[in-house]
Amino acid sequence: MNSDSSRFKNVRQWLLPLASGVLLLGLGAAGWWIAERATSSGTAEAPSAGDETGAIALPEPEPNALNAPANLLEAPDDSSQVVLPDGWEAEPELNPVAQIQAANRQQQMYLVVRAQPRDGLADLTKEEFSEQSRQQLKEQLTNVEEAGPSEQITQVGEFDAVQYEIRGSNNDINVVYLHTTVETPEHFTQILTWTAPTDFARNEAAMQELIQNVEVR
């Protein structure tokens, strides 16, 4: 493992380490775009009684669930989903509010996805939304360098998108982010992938491919 990858630890807010000695960087919980929204949860009904033998009648699986690939991650609010490539797996501790979180530990690549409903965002454009969220990320970093918007990445799927490359360090730990904002009729969705600078040339194509694999709604 290179020196930057081996030092992915002891970082705060935007960069959250995992336990168990796994050196992962995570997107922090700060930011207006990731504000928690109150949700209500119902109480599950008890299963219906079975036949005379005492067998419990199990609910029928949804048709889509029968054909869903094992490596499919779906946002709880149904705002996005992604089928993870080989080598990737869910990482539920990367960020406490991200709706999708995944990592390729061997290659030191990471992904979080967070959708913000557009209601109440004062008619922001995707460019304005991106600017505000990028500013909050950059405030957590030093030695910041930003490039963009990308002329190549202007859509994710069928939806308009804007992408920036952000480099910086936090507590002397260097990282490169691909910060992508996607505009749909209902949401602004941020897709954030990152890796160490020394791994970026090797990992960029895979990160870009993963971004395009995120299905936003």
Kind plus residue range of the DSSP H or E element containing 211 = helix 197-213
Residue 46 lies in a domain: no
Residue 211 lies in a domain: yes
Query: Taking the complete model, does pTM exceed 0.75, yes or no?
Result: no
CA distance 67 to 81: 15
Residue 199 lies in a domain: yes
Query: How many CB atoms lie under 10 A from the CB of residue 167?
Result: 17
In this predicted structure, the answer to whether residue 17 has a pLDDT above a threshold of 90 is no
- Ranges assigned E (strand) in the chain: 72-74, 80-83, 89-90, 100-104, 109-117, 142-147, 155-156, 159-170, 173-183, 187-195, 215-216
Look at the chain and report how many structural domains it folds into.
1
Q: Per the structure block, which two tokens stand in for 14?
A: 């935007």
Question: What pLDDT, on a 0 to 100 scale, did the predictor assign at position 127?
Answer: 97
How high does pLDDT run on average in the chain?
A: 76
Residue 52 lies in a domain: no
Residue 128 lies in a domain: yes
Q: Which residue would you say has higher pLDDT here, 46 or 101?
A: 101
Print the domain residue range for 205. 3-32+71-216
Q: What is the CATH number of the domain that holds 13?
A: 3.40.1000.10
Q: Three-class SS of residue 176? A: strand
Residue % of the chain over a pLDDT of 70: 68
Residue indicated by tokens 């290179």: 2
Segment 39-76, tens digit of pLDDT:
233 433 333 333 444 444 545 555 555 566 779 999 99
